[in-house]
Amino acid sequence: MKIKPSARMSIFSEAIFGDLKAAAAKKQATGIELIDLSLGSPDLPPDEKVRKVLSDESALATTYGYTLGGTKRFNEAVANYYKRRSGVDINPETEVIQTMGSQEGLVHLPLAFCDEGDIVLTTDPAYVAYEAGIKLAGAVPYYMPLREENGFLPDLRAIPEEVAEKAKLLILNLPGNPVPALPSASFFDEVVAFAQKYNIIVLHDAAYSEYYFTGDAPISFLATEGAIDVGVEINSLSKSFSLAGARIAYIVGNAEVVSIMKQLKSNLDYGTFGPIQEAAAVALDNAEEITDRLRKEFSKRHQVLMNGMKEIGWSATPSNGGMFVWAKYPYDMGDIDFVYEIIEQCGVVMVPGSIFGSGGEGYVRLALVQSVDELQRAIERLKNLSI
């Protein structure tokens, strides 16, 4: 029997993470202890309170039915969290929808709002799931470059009028992945005005909203006047609460957008496991305590890696938040070949910047997912790199 994939499968390229893992395993088999800075999967465990609730709820015989979406308890916890952390009033019944991790929501949202050939404004570089969702919907990406002179924020004024007129969706990610740029109130004001002028839905990916190391927390897009009229914010408990494997997130904001997403998701899934939603609600209810501990640790890691990049002569993008360091290396070598050479010579795993878009060529992304001691070891190894 001949198995043939659909023509649609041609839009999906194989992710490099599997190849990096294979190369790393081959190196590890030689007896070298690897330092993996590739995947942004938190190494710290969830808070004990969260783990206990998940364990207790899972032991109950009555918790194994379909949830059919977000539970009342979960949606109210999201609304309370937004009120406390950002001063934003959210209706838990009409302005919140639970998703199975943010990636699921990010990939499916363009399906609900974009027709074949519609334009989606996205950044270059950008998180890879955005491109997958755009292509799955048959939409066309328009790339907004992230340049240092603009503080690594997209320049909305540089978008041609004819492109803006045809655009259906604008995707932003602040603090960002892979470039950990931070938003400003004035920038979000500009986004709202732009969306209102051209009737564009805004999707702000706030997965790293609790990852800030100096000053106040990054601004929620929804805290901007008029934002809830034009868009939504998606946030995941994967990063901020170390619940990556639990796959739970939410989209919050414009009620009409949420309603249409509910219609789509009612045809796709039956909701996240109830005990996971209860554990997530506990995490959100205790966000201040939990994320304060997280920031103290990740702030130390961020400082060590930023200082280390400077020490070895790499140029790290200035940042005060996010879960990654975005660095330009001083060698005349393509970034994909470079990361494999790093694995071979140093046993350190990182991600080539070009997988996030052409604007990432010559850069690498390093995740803050190892202890301070391990990060210092990684820097020492990179000092011995010979190219």
CATH 3.90.1150.10 domain locations along the chain? 7-45+290-383
- Model confidence over 206-257: pLDDT tens digits? 999 999 998 777 789 999 999 999 999 999 999 999 999 999 999 999 999 9
Mean pLDDT, the chain cut into blocks of 10 residues (387 residues total): 90 82 88 92 94 98 96 98 96 98 96 97 96 96 94 96 98 95 94 98 96 85 98 96 96 98 96 97 97 94 97 94 95 96 95 96 97 97 92
Give the C-alpha separation, 83 to 317, whole Å. Answer: 32
Look-up of token digits 């994939």: 5
Give the C-alpha separation, 187 to 41, whole Å. Answer: 29
Is 24 strand, coil or helix? Answer: helix
Domain 48-288, what fold?
A: Aspartate Aminotransferase; domain 2 (3.40.640)
Distances (CA, A) of 291 to 1, 113, 285, 386: 53, 34, 11, 39
Strand partners, 171: 203
Q: Where are the alpha helices (DSSP H) in 243-312?
A: 255-265, 274-285, 287-311
CB 192, CB 225: distance < 8 Å: yes
Is 343 strand, coil or helix? Answer: helix
Which residues have C-beta within 8 Å of that of residue 46, sequence separation ≥ 6? 54, 241, 242, 243, 279, 283
Residue 367's φ and ψ, nearest 5 degrees, are: -90, 145
Is 144 strand, coil or helix? Answer: strand
CB 327, CB 351: distance < 8 Å: no
Q: What is the DSSP letter of 117?
A: T
CATH 3.40.640.10 domain locations along the chain? 48-288
- Model confidence over 119-146: pLDDT tens digits? 999 999 999 999 999 999 999 999 999 9
What confidence score (pLDDT) does residue 301 get? 97
What confidence score (pLDDT) does residue 19 get? 86
* Triad 378, 357, 171: Cα angle to 5°: 110
CATH number assigned to the domain covering 7-45+290-383: 3.90.1150.10
